Amino acid sequence: MSVQFELPASSAEAVPAFDSVAACADWLAALPLTNPATAQAQLRAQVALLPIAGFEARLVLDLAEALRASVLQVQAEVARRFAFRPLPLGELESAAASATLNLWHAYALVYQVCVQAALDGDRALRSHAALACQRALDAQVRLLFDTQCAGFEIAAADWTLLHKLYRAAEQLGTAAEKVKDPQLHGVAATHAMATYARALLLGLGLPPEMAPRQALAVAMWTERLANRVVITSLPPANPAKPAILVDLAAGRGGFRVDGAASPRGDLRYVDIGALANALKKRIHLLRKGETPASLGLGEDATMPGVEAALIALYRHWGDARVGREAARRAAGGRAQVAAGMAAMHYYISGKPFRPPGPPPELSTRQLREIATFGRVATRDDDEFSQLQGFALEQWALQDESVAGMRMVRAAAGARFAPTMLVAMKPADARAFMVGTVRWVQVQAGGELAAGVRLIPGVPAPVAARQTGLAAAAAKYQPALLLPAVAALHSPESLILPGGWFKAGRIVEVHADAAWNARLDTLVERGADFERCTFTRT
């Protein structure tokens, strides 16, 4: 069945500011690139007119190409305002994200006009079909990636359109036909198959432990490495790594199945054996002393971070994740969740944090309350959480494993980001647990979903302060003490505020009594905490 795209009808009222490449260049010369939001709005207004202006398809393609460098530049600048921010986005961040995705939708539609013309037999477009397909796919890939960067779930319709574009490239026989793309990093030529593979790799999800800077680097690496991916309609004969599957008739991205499953649909098999070997080779060369720049990994990439990122990708893309998914089980009920060390300490301890030391002198009001009631009123403690802005949020549990759980929040609440520390107490639990946010995403219905990796042990609230000459006036701050859990090979550890860890540093800890802890090793560092082992001294 021939591919058909849903295109708008032409309108006599649609009159772009330019009707030739030369006029477009003059218009672009006046584009206020120093004001990305304004430039983006102006581009959006003109791009939206091109599919309905009644221009010949070849002219539409030429104009889209003339606009491309400016579109990519402006989109990258505006994306800085919302990409990888805590979720849900703030009002201004959300507006920037919406404007960016709207322009991608409009710009992708321009190339779809050209692809449809090639499918319909337009002679002027037939010789440029490979270019039109690759550019249409590239625009859709960038739409999907910015959707991920904004923390939004990718809509099924956006996946469906991506698959339709690749099917069009197959139908036109141009899936593997190379074209030049000066906007890619370090790639002389590419094709529709490689561009489609970029979307599938990024859509599988970047390793959650990656920092925003690493995620952007990975997007660049996929541009350089995607040409090594082969997509076929039959399973690879002897795959070096489990193939990724994609159903061209489904509104989702790539997936894997275990050996017992029999997937159905309009399937394509994504052989990533050569890509996995390329990652493995680069890891080996880095260990031999090659620089990241010499391996095409970016001029500003540094060790050991770049090696860790490549290892994460090799495991994430090169090895099947079926075992992890099978280990999960459906869960029901709700959990109370608190974020931020001060709030977590308050809810775990059940009382406001008060630094150790002699109690402050009683106020006149407190003395009067003792004389009248025989004790100090507790209303200050009762109102403490409200005064501090603390809140126990209600999240619904969806599934869980030994190491973590997935949960969803429908109501408004605090903003969450990967590697944040949270305390949570399921309805059937006796005590709070602590964990780190692995990933967080705004779903299609507006709910906030998050995956949490639990840290073994029941946390005990303690007070801690730094010692030494440089910290002579240091004050006690809330901290958590986690016991050793031998069965999970988890050592006794302290969860401290971010920036505290230094091997050998002495920290004074106060629970029922004061004692000193010499910090030994950093177990993990998150967005707002450091967890480290220690020796009591």
Transcribe 356-399 into DSSP letters: SSSPPPPPHHHHHHHHHHSS--SHHHHTHHHHHT---EEEEEEE
Q: What is the helix (H) or strand (E) element at residue 225, kind and residue range?
A: helix 212-225
8 A C-beta contact, residue 339 and residue 418: no
According to DSSP, residue 176 is labeled T
pLDDT value for 471:
61
Distance between CA atoms of residues 213 and 532, nearest Å: 25
Q: 374 φ, ψ to 5°?
A: 85, 0
Angle ∠(272,278,284) on CA atoms, nearest 5: 135
Tokens of 336: 């109370």
Tokens of 206: 């970047």
Peptide bond into 456 cis (omega under 30): no
Angle ∠(491,494,495) on CA atoms, nearest 5: 120
- Residue 455, CA atoms < 13 Å, CB-side half-sphere: 34
Q: Which of 430, 480, 485 is nearest to 456 (CA)?
A: 485
pLDDT value for 325:
45
At what angle are helices 192-203 and 156-172 packed, to 10 degrees? 160
Tally the residues of the chain.
Answer: 537
According to DSSP, residue 91 is labeled H
What's the pTM? 0.89
8 A C-beta contact, residue 531 and residue 498: no
First to last CA, the chain: 75
Distance between CA atoms of residues 226 and 20, nearest Å: 34
8 A C-beta contact, residue 162 and residue 197: no
Instruction: Collect all residues with Cβ–Cβ distance below 8 Å to 311 and sequence separation of at least 6.
Output: 283
Peptide bond into 88 cis (omega under 30): yes
Instruction: Collect all residues with Cβ–Cβ distance below 8 Å to 116 and sequence separation of at least 6.
Output: 4, 5, 7
Distance between CA atoms of residues 48 and 50, nearest Å: 6
Distance between CA atoms of residues 432 and 450, nearest Å: 18
Distance between CA atoms of residues 162 and 154, nearest Å: 11
At what angle are helices 91-119 and 36-49 packed, to 10 degrees? 30
Q: 165 φ, ψ to 5°?
A: -65, -40
Encode the chain (537 residues) as per-residue pLDDT tens digits: 589 999 999 999 999 999 999 999 999 999 999 999 999 999 999 999 999 999 999 999 999 999 999 999 999 999 999 999 999 999 999 999 999 999 999 999 999 999 999 999 999 998 999 999 999 999 999 999 999 999 999 999 999 999 999 999 999 999 999 999 999 988 889 999 999 999 999 988 776 667 788 888 899 999 999 999 999 999 988 888 888 999 999 999 998 876 656 778 899 999 999 999 999 999 999 999 999 989 888 887 787 888 888 998 888 887 655 444 445 677 778 999 999 999 999 999 999 998 886 655 555 665 565 566 555 455 455 555 666 778 899 999 998 877 789 999 999 999 999 999 999 999 989 999 999 999 999 999 999 999 999 999 999 999 999 987 666 678 999 999 999 999 999 999 999 999 999 999 999 999 989 999 999 999 999 999 999 999 998
Which residues on neighbouring strands pair with residue 329, listed in sequence order? 400
pLDDT value for 322:
40
Which residues on neighbouring strands pair with residue 460, listed in sequence order? 481
For 173, other C-beta atoms within 10 Å of its C-beta total 10
pLDDT value for 530:
98
Q: What is the helix (H) or strand (E) element at residue 494, kind and residue range?
A: strand 493-496
Angle ∠(73,75,81) on CA atoms, nearest 5: 120
Q: Which of 244, 252, 196 is nearest to 223 (CA)?
A: 196
pLDDT value for 374:
56
According to DSSP, residue 226 is labeled G
At what angle are helices 129-149 and 91-119 packed, to 10 degrees? 160
